[in-house]
Structure 1
Amino acid sequence: MKTTTRALAGLIAAALAAVVLAAQETRPVREDVGFCWSPAVMKTLVDYLEAQEKESFRAEGLVAAIAPHDDYLYAGRIYYPLFKILRAREVVIFGVTHGTVRKEIDDPHEILILDEFKAWPGLGGPAAISGLREHLKEHLDKSLFIVNNTAQALEHSIEAQVPWLQYFNPEVKITPIMVTGMPFEKMDEVSTRLAETVAAYMKDRGLAPGRDIFFLISSDGNHYGRDFNNVPFGEGETAWRAARELDRRLIRDYLTGLMDKGKVEGLTRELWGKTYLDYRNTYWCGKYSVPFGLLAAQKIMALTAGKKMSGMLFRYSDTYSEGVLPLVKTGLGTTAPFSLRHWVSFCSVGYYLD
């Protein structure tokens, strides 16, 4: 009886939470330690990064990118060179569906997840939603997506991008899209349907890729160490170097240079195990968001610009290499440790019309 009562109470609590989320106009902040929601603190962070920056990257022709979603004090140097050159009015953000989220929403597969919040949290004010989101709901096959505010409120990979986007372009509008697990054939099918729908939206409104609309893929890289139960190369600095070299090879072979479907499929063979649900020997949380986002972006470019994309690595690093940026009394913090038994890699990669 107690078990039944607890289960009923849990269902009631979940239902009430869903009602509260549905009634909210602005999505609540999920991560208020690792990410920044204060314009003044964000300026302090950006000013510090600008003073340290020694490289610059071309903005012209940039239409898509991969960016991290780790804590800003860990990955700030990797975020910065990309976001400082983004000025598109609209940004489509392909996010992860992390395991903690999947457990709360019955682990859906082979679909995209949209939301119905009227705005998302931003730097001192909400970030607006692009009209593309409602266009997708109206024109995309209903079997290819669900609308779930709970999932989008629990997931942090899309949220991480918003303060960076809004700092450099306060009027930016976003379209948040969470990607769930799916085999490559299904990924190819869903990305084709999505690309056709997005391309029609762009053509109807005269939007040019890069200038007016940008495609951003959220992903951290390997999660390595005993804490993650992921030690295919062993432990210690030798293993750390080997795992980093694997990351660099994947970036070199599959994420940079002239892009095509074959490269993306090759990446999935490296990231996935026997099935798409499994891992091989690297734990990239973007094992679905990266290949899906790249497939969709390539197809959108083909339909709207008649061109392919070419990838360029902006920056690669990891939490063990970076440590924590020396900014104190800002309110920013870290949500996990860094050590040889617990480190996460990340990269920023830009994609240009070829």
Structure 2
Amino acid sequence: MKEFDISAVAKDLEEALQHKIDNKTKPVGALGRLEEVALKVGLIQQELEPQLQIPLLAVFAGDHGIAAEGVVNAYPQEVTAQMVMNMVGGGAAVNVFCETHGLATKIIDAGVAAELPPNEMLIDRKVAEGTQNYTEVPAMTAAQCNNAIEAGAALVSQWSDEGTNIIGFGEMGIGNTSSAAIITSLITGKSIEECTGKGTGLDDEGVSQKAKVLAKAIEAHDIDGDPFSILQTFGGYEIAMIVGAVLQAAEQQMVILVDGFIATAAFMVACECYPDAREYGIFAHQSDEQGHRIQLNYLQANPLLQLGMRLGEGTGAAMAYPIVESAVNFLNEMASFQDAGVSQGDKE
């Protein structure tokens, strides 16, 4: 696997940032979670006046061989390609939310099982036309998994060079909640039944059948718990590209907006490989997919939003961005007691 140079977030400015936050014209702690976010962004950027530059949300798309089993997803595999082209045309929820909140949107073909027409809005990094069916063989070869990780890292490096310093990652891929469920189960130690949810809309019986198929898939492989092996065996090209993208973003000391169930599965793999990457993530929301709470508990994460969403695409990250923006803006623009000539109360 490609090596990354990821440092823990330095705490040198913590006291100065906290002093700045506490001396705004408000009671101490009165802005709640916004104060936590402001402190985190300031520490990541090592700035008393942090700036959010060219915010970007990248959606990686890929297909999954497990979809051939027929019981793990409510929609046919061809929906992946159709939805990618919907995103390219600006018609998906993620497009609307990014447009609303001022984020650039990038759509990447990581491994869609179709030949997509060339389009200036679509970045072609296809490793293969979908993964293999991991009920029988590993989803990817080690080389394919590495290629996907490196492709995701290279894209983030390019976007960082162009000025982006806050980034979110979304995904599209019929069958990818199955990969996320297995990754979550193997990393956290929770049962596959606990980690398996409705995906694109299965009923309770469908979820039960899905969990049985995934349990058999896990039994079919003898892996040692190494995160790369888990990713190679059960992941998708879009998930592997997000792993590489997360790790490169952490190396570049970017703020990372962590989306829902699939994106968090990728984030977990990245953090298992490089634990310091965890410090660069701001957790956008709690998905309604049941395994996401397990992931968040494992990562000791407190998400900003809980809206009952389970769409994917990076929609949760796009919805959380204005909260992060508001946190940075109050830190930079809100008057201090001294600036405003306001008497400061007793903070004891």
- Settle same-fold status: TM greater than 0.5: no
Higher helix share: 2
Higher strand share: 1
Scaled to the shorter chain, the TM-score interval is: 0.3 to 0.5
